[in-house]
Structure 1
Amino acid sequence: MNLIDRLLAPIAPGVVAKRLRNQHMIMAYEAARPTRTHKARGEPLSANAAIQVAGRSLREQCRWLDENHDIVTGLFDRLEERVVGGAGIGVEPLVLGLDGTVDTDFCATIKNAWAEWSLRPETAGELSRPQMERLVARTWLRDGEALAQKVMGTVPNYKHLTAVPFALELLEPDYLPFDYSDLAKGILQGIERDAWRRVRAYHLLKAHPGDLGHGIFQQTKRVEADRVIHVANRKRIGQNRGVPLLHAALIRLADLKDYEESERIAARISAAMAFYIKKGEPQEYDPKNEPEGGRSTFPIAPGMIFDGLQPGEDMGMFESNRPNPMLEGYRNGMLRAVAAAGRSAYSTVARSYDGTYSAQRQELVEAQEGYDLLQHEFIDYWCRPVYRAWLTMAIASGVIQVPATVDPRSLMSAVYQGPVMPWINPVHEANAWESLVKGGFADEAEVARARGRNPQELKKSRAAEIALNRELGLIFSSDAAHSVPAANKPEATNQQGGANGQPEETE
């Protein structure tokens, strides 16, 4: 014990014991003790209080970088490609009949109606479903959240653009104000919840606060929770609003942009400077020898000779040490950290594909885990609610008639398929899938989905293709029936004759 503890021990032994216990705890966790070299910064605020203070600034910084930083633009472009893809998130209905088998005819009916609605799914009629999903995914990852209001049935002053009376009004997160709270009514940051934190309603602004002519103080409208889709990137339990994906890399990205700009300016200055004239001693300088108007600039051309030096003057050359040879290594190190914060791969962010096949595949496999996680979150937050709301309205409006042989419990069942990991070595990948199917550890549908194809559509296409080939007498290795030895199918030999499918001549 120190002197203070020894003096307090007879008077307040409990206080001394507590002091000693706390001292031992601090000694046990050195990381909790601030020092000159360790700041021991912490975050005592709740998830909602932290996002209340920083949410708007983080969102605006990410938007600015997406508009002005080529690296950030490329990163979000690649995330769009990996999470949603060019064709959007595919939906394959899997409705079962009462006998437990898939009702392929009814699934095809749903698929056709879904494809027709996908042409103009949002209220403005400007975007197709894949375009809408890519835009929503980009907003979600860049701003931290995105919203959409479901427009269902008959709505005043609105005419549906599709047969199914269902559309989505896309909203940026600015429509959900951070500063609109009423704790007595359970409203925090524009979201109204009950005592169990279940969302009851959203209080949305009637116009974008950033539009010209609209101030930040305007009226809100209360929209029931079942009519709003809220996609949010949450990092803590109980977090009301989402945070941008690159929130931890904003300072690094801003510094990298400023540093690269400084290097570019230095390189331009270095390249623009040619030479300089060093004056001699002052007593050697004669103003009469200076040309009229002075010597401010010189025309430079290949092979030129300059002989206009005055007595005592000398010509010096600038040493151009730009571009900085260390820039690329430093920049690549920064990009590795940015890729880690953005659930992406360094090769993807830097567009650098050096290295061995094994290293490239390892990076692709690890990065695919991050893409799959974002893809499943987007499906859970957006695609599944949209599809189920659309199907409910399609059935209620009579566009889709449910047969009596369908199991009603499986009406909403579907498989959601996003972009898959590309094959680096198609031969190895194909052989591996073939071995798994033959061994019973995978099925044909899984292989088709792994390549981004719909299994039912693939089988129909293959059946039609094989039937046409046989009708025209075309033989390809893709038809395994032709690989059966001729001795095992004498009837085929008698009917088709030669290899070209024509009967052979007999004497």
Structure 2
Amino acid sequence: MWPFRKQEAAAEQLMAEAIRVARATADDRKIVAQGGGGGVETRWRGASRVLRSMASWIPGLGSPRRDFNKSERRMLVARSRDAMRNHLIARAAIMRLRTNVVGTGLVCRAQVDFEAVGITEDEAEQLNAQLDRLWSMYADDPRECDAEATLNHYQLQALVLVSSLVAGDVFVASPDQERPGCIFSTRLQLIESDRVGNPNSGMDRVDMVEGVEFDAVGAPVAYHVCAGYPGEHLAGKALTWERLSVFGAETGRRRVLHVMADKERPGQKRGAPYLSPVLEPLQKLERYSSAELMAAVISAMFTVFIKKGSEFDRGNLPMSALADERPEGDDTSDGAISLGEGAIVDLGPGEEPMVANPSRPNAQFDPFFTAVVKEIGAALELPLDELLLHYSSSYSAARAAMLQAWRFYSLRRWWLACDFCQPSRELIIDEAVARGLINLPGYSEPAKRKAYCQAIWIGPARGAIDELKEAKAARERIDIGVSNETLETASMTGEPWQQVIRQRVREVEFRRANSMQPLPKSGLETPPEPNPQEE
């Protein structure tokens, strides 16, 4: 019987502990309700359910699939697109990213790891030139890279970035299509977020979430793409879904790219729009701004009403009829009265106007508008000066805002290069090797393939508020050994240092050949050996 007595004693202890906790919680609730002591029923005030400031804040806790379900995502995408079309601040944020992250396009420069592939540095330079030439042949021609034969690769970069930010994600398929006059057959086909979903708009499964099919560890296996847009039916075309494998069955090459705006949780399969956290303040700010603008317009078009006294001769014509030219807005022949610039509206006998002064423009509009935009910019990682392109503060503050913004731009640029630019380039190198356009010994080995595909992506330069100070700072960084000419050239001009220095050498040699400047001392001449007899 001893084991039973032991179990009874343990149960009694648990019961006593439960009663003690319940009494302590009740006492804490009484203290909080009475407003004394500041105590809470939890050790973390943020977890309290009885504090008045926290009582109504009870969010749900669920998986990425539950917290970001289909209906909420579709609503966020729809509102984000509408804000992109009609809200000035929202469009400014997206366009600012497009211009600074991509601009005229991220240019690729091959950087073959010559030690890994077993060649000399000079041979690697020649190989880099061949790879860059092949990539230029593909990326510069819309018929080569774009499945729609409309945009070149640099324009596709901008479209991919904007689509992923506005809709949360965008998919890029790589169909194989031969075209007359083209060298490559790999095309890049952009697929909008709306078209990827479960077949026949079915429910999610254990291994599929909103068109993304994945394996047991969560890696994507296939994407299910609708032939059109769900809910949009065209004559003579039924909606069908196609299963696109993410990786090649034999080679393991990635065939479909998934570019997401952000991935904030492990296991998240679809991306959220970039503007999702600020859609509510954006909508309110747009309504407030539109109302203030309309009030200012009405104030500028304030119309004068003429009131006639009892001594006015009713047989006379109204003043508006006596005028030779009627300004727009004061024609009362149809009984309608409307506002107009400098209009005078004549009133009938017994009518008395109620004068209302709108008091516009509102002097408090700009400070309040700026304060809200600051909060929106903080959530979007864009300083106010950068978001509004209004550098009204000091040089130091403006430069700090620009540098902080460029940290965010650099992150987005790196993200785009990893998810879209580099994978699409590797597909082209694969095809070039298969077609015999370039000889890369040992390319079938994964390690050497990585070494051959290494490259850097150089985007538009950051720019400077004071270029002379920036140039001196770059020279100082090089002199003390914390940077090099390649990094500084890419940062200041957006061009590779090798190309700049080669062009510079050609220019200097041309000037020397045409006697446009005296030959400077190179400083490389070997000094003469001292004569012992002279010493």
State the TM-score bracket (shorter-chain normalisation). 0.7 to 0.9
- 1:321 match: 359
* Matches of 2:406 and 2:311, distance apart in 1: 74
Pick which of 437-446 and 226-235 moved more: 437-446
Three-state SS of the structure 1 residue aligned to 2:89 is helix
Could you say what secondary structure the match of 1:105 adopts?
helix
DSSP-derived class of the 1:218 partner: coil
Please identify, of 136-145 and 45-54, the stretch whose mean Cα deviation from structure 2 is larger. 45-54
Counterpart pick for 2:472 among 431, 447, 466: 431
TM-score (norm: length of structure 2): 0.77
Q: Using the TM superposition, give the Cα deviation of residue 357 of structure 1 relative to its aligned residue in structure 2, in angstroms.
A: 0.1
SS of equivalent residue, structure 1 residue 26? coil
2:167 maps to which residue?
A: 143
Residue in 2 aligned with 1:338?
376
Match of 2:503 in 1: 461
SS of structure 2 residue aligned to 1:424? coil
| Paired AA for residue 364 in structure 1 | M
Equivalences for residues 57-136 of structure 1 within 5 A:
57-86=75-104, 88-97=105-114, 98-99=118-119, 101=121, 103-118=124-139, 119-120=141-142, 121-136=145-160
Partner of residue 54, structure 1: 72
Give the letter aligned to residue 467 of structure 1.
E
Equivalent pair of 2:138/2:184 in contact (CA under 8 Å)? yes
CA separation in 2, counterparts of 1:309 and 1:218? Answer: 62
Q: Write the mapping of 1:289-300 to structure 2, written as runs, cut at 5 A.
A: 289=314, 291=316
Percent of residue pairs identical:
22
Partners in 1 of 2:490 and 2:41 — Cα distance? 55
Q: How big is the shift at 1:194? A: 0.9
- Write out per-residue CA displacement over residues 68-116 of structure 1, whole angstroms, 9 at most, x where no aligned residue: 2232222211110111111x11111011432452611111111111111
Offset at 1:242? 0.1
Measure how far apart 1:130 and its partner are: 1.1
Shift of 1:164: 1.9
- Larger RCO (CA under 8 A, 6+ residues apart): 1
Contact 2:147 2:188 in 1 (8 A): yes
CA distance in 2 between counterparts of 1:59 and 1:214 reads: 26
> Which stretch of the first structure deviates more once superposed, 440-449 or 21-30?
21-30
- Determine which of 350, 353, 356 is the counterpart of 2:394: 356
- Where in structure 2 are there 5+ consecutive unaligned residues? 1-11, 29-39, 248-254, 329-341, 529-535
Amino acid of the structure 2 residue aligned with 1:205: C
Instruction: Give me the whole-angstrom Cα distance separating, in 2, the residues matched to 1:245 and 1:433.
Output: 34
C-alpha contact (below 8 Å) 2:194/2:230 kept by paired residues: yes
- Matches of 1:489 and 1:466, distance apart in 2: 25
Q: Give yes or no for the alignment of 1:176 onto 2:218.
A: no
Matched, 1:199 2:220: yes
Whole-Å separation in 2 of the counterparts to 1:214 and 1:384:
39
Q: 1:358 and 1:222, CA in 2 relative to 1: closer, same or farther beyond 3 A? A: same
Pick which of 339-348 and 405-414 moved more.
405-414
What's the C-alpha RMSD, in Å, of the aligned pairs?
Answer: 3.6
Please give the secondary structure, in 1, of the residue aligned with 2:243: strand
- Contact (CA 8 Å) 1:245, 1:341: kept in 2 or not? no
Of residues 40, 43, 58 in structure 2, which corresponds to 1:28?
43
Mark the runs of 5 or more structure 1 residues left unpaired by the alignment: 1-8, 491-507
How big is each residue's C-alpha offset from its partner over 1:156-192, in whole Å with a ceiling of 9 and x where there is no partner?
Answer: xx537631221111111111126544525x1121111
Q: Kindly tell me: are residues 482 and 26 of structure 1, through their superposed partners in 2, closer, same or farther at Cα, counting changes over 3 Å? A: farther
SS of corresponding position for 1:201: strand
The 1:145/1:11 distance shift into structure 2, 3 A limit, reads closer
CA deviation string 1:387-420 (max 9, x = no partner): 1111111111222233689965521111122234
| Separation in structure 2 between the aligned mates of residue 256 and residue 202 of structure 1, nearest angstrom | 38
- 2:244 matches 1:209: no
Distance in 1 between the 2:404 and 2:454 partners?
Answer: 30
Q: State how 1:477-496 maps to structure 2 within 5 Å.
A: 482=520
Q: Determine if contact 2:233/2:239 at 8 Å carries over to the other structure.
A: no
Q: Secondary structure at the match of 1:148?
A: strand
Change (3 A) 1:349 1:205: same
User: Would the aligned equivalents of 1:160 and 1:167 in 2 still touch at CA under 8 Å?
Assistant: no
CA 1:42–1:482: 2 relative to 1, 3 Å: same
Find the aligned partners of 2:526 and 2:440 in 1 and give their Cα distance. 47
Determine the structure 1 residue equivalent to 2:15: 12
Mapped to 2, the partners of 1:148 and 1:138 lie a distance apart of: 14
CA contact (8 A) 1:122 1:169 kept: yes
Whether contact under 8 Å (1:449, 1:455) holds in the other structure is yes
CA distance in 2, matches of 1:268, 1:407: 67
Aligned pairs, number: 464
TM-score by length of 1: 0.81
